Amino acid sequence: MKVWILIVLEVIRRHIGWFWFGLIFFAAIFLLQFKFSFFYPTNMVRIGLIGTYQEHDIPLEVTKLISESLVTTDENGRVKPNIVTDWEINNSATEFRFRLKDGLLWSDGTPIQASDIIFNIPNTEVTFPDEKTIQFNLKESYSPLPSLLTQPVFKKGSLIGTGPYQVTRTEKSRIFITKIVLESNNPNLPMVQIRFYPNEKVAITGFNLGEVSSIMGISNPKLFSENPKVNISQSPDFTKIVSILFNTNDSLLSNRSLRQALSYITPKIADKIEANNPYPPTFWAYDASAKKYLSNTQEAEAALDRAKSALAKDMLKAEIILTATPNLEDIGRAVVERWQTLGFDVKLRIESGIPQNFQALLITQSIPTDPDQYLLWHATQTKTNLTKYDSKRVDKDLEDGRKVIVEAERKSLYFDFQKTLLEDAPATFLYFPKYNVVYTKRVKSRLDKVLEINLRR
């Protein structure tokens, strides 16, 4: 043994320059791999997400992998138990009591106790009568409260959840997370590395450079349609809706018949899931008989005739500006072209963000999982009711819908809400967008396992 040691030492002495070069080279490779992860495990999926996030607002695409929610919703929008067995509600819809399932464990192996979970719901007192019970006491009636509990839950002060994955590493740039690495005890699930990009352009660059092998939630998958090495996965996203919002205080668009005319002449968008209603068509509160707009020239002309009888001639020559977000520019152009056929001077303006003042705004909005759209349409909600819509009848329907417990009674109220809202046409509902995932074909089998968890309701 001593002889072999002496031989090795002599070889090192004779090639000392190469020895130090090799030592420095491999140390540099190790540090670069640790910092930038140039070489990846074969059982890893590298995912890109768009947006800047901190630990308290990590997006659902990540949190669903780490944990589960108290309740979930089915394809009809009905709330059902998930990690709770059931819940009780009092007659005034001000007290809710949820019971956790037995035998639940956090991913660190400790038993789940009700008091481990933090809830931030305004005007709500949360108490824990025992280690399995969570009680919500509200100041005012709010029957849709269970629909607010569809977010994954975490152990107080941590990212420890109940899901198949655990966080093993995070990287930050100042206060924002730039990378998260997830691992699972299930050998059938791949490792997941998630990078966060500030915008879609940077994310696409990262994908093209090989930093990630997939991007979730990309708005323009057509950019990859000609790439034979890339697949595109699409699924309906009924949590969002693309609409044209009318400023009902605008001197021209305050006329209901004119808004109806513009809604009727607005084209149906090809290859999209038509909305024509503030609710998804599968929703339990959706009224299939409610008023329909889009691509109806005859009704558009009739509505325009009604508008002309109430508007001065010079008003009919006024300019209408449709403002759209950059990702909806093509849709905006198609809408402007159709509106111009009614004889109006219509122009398209592209702005990022929501402008303070607009005549008509083409935008993608999030919609609640419950039919309660109080924030979007009630006259008192000046920050979120962007159209400035004011209807006493709609206000009453929305107010009562929050107090009623029985589904049939709520359904009747929301049918009336749809009828009134669509007749007044403060908005034109176009379509429900698709959730797009682009990925290299070689990672399909691994990514499918992640998407199966991620796309569960």
> Tell me: the pLDDT tens digits for 47-92?
999 999 998 889 999 999 999 999 999 989 999 999 999 999 999 9
Three-class DSSP category at 105: strand
SS3 124: strand
- pLDDT interval class at 27 (50, 70, 90): low
**Class of domain 240-432 as given by CATH:** alpha beta
Interacting residues of 216 by C-beta distance below 8 A, sequence separation 6+? 47, 48, 49, 61, 435, 437, 454
Tens of pLDDT along 142-155? 999 999 999 999 99
Q: 396 by DSSP, 3-state: which?
A: helix
Q: Are the folds of 68-149 and 240-432 the same?
A: no
Q: Assess contact for 96 and 145: CB atoms under 8 A.
A: yes
pLDDT band at 18, cuts 50/70/90? Answer: low
Every domain of the chain and the residues it spans: 36-66+163-235+435-457, 68-149, 240-432
**Which tens digit of pLDDT belongs to each residue from 367-410?**
999 999 999 999 999 999 999 999 999 999 999 999 999 999 99
405-410: long-range contacts at Cβ-Cβ below 8 A with a sequence spacing of 24 or more?
405/89, 405/91, 405/93, 405/143, 407/284, 410/143, 410/285, 410/371
Phi and psi for 130 in degrees, rounded to 5?
-155, 180
Domain 36-66+163-235+435-457 class? alpha beta
DSSP state of 268: P
Report whether 192 contacts 47 (CB < 8 A). yes
Tell me the pLDDT tens digit for each residue of 222-248.
888 788 889 999 999 999 999 999 999
Nearest to 147 by CA among 87, 189, 201: 87
What's the pTM value of the predicted model, to 2 decimals?
Answer: 0.86
**CATH of segment(s) 68-149:** 3.90.76.10
Angle at 434 between CA 431 and CA 440, to 5 degrees: 160
Q: Write out pLDDT tens, residues 296-341.
A: 999 999 999 999 988 887 787 789 999 999 889 999 999 999 999 9
Q: Which residue has the higher pLDDT, 374 or 38?
A: 374
Instruction: Specify which residues 429 forms β-bridges with.
Output: 243
Instruction: Kindly report, residue by residue over 163-205, the tens digit of the pLDDT.
Output: 999 999 999 988 999 999 999 989 999 999 999 999 999 999 9
Give the C-alpha separation, 88 to 325, whole Å. Answer: 43
How buried is residue 37: exposed, middle or buried, by Cβ count under 10 Å (0-12/13-18/19+)? middle
Calpha distance 108→123 (Å, rounded): 32
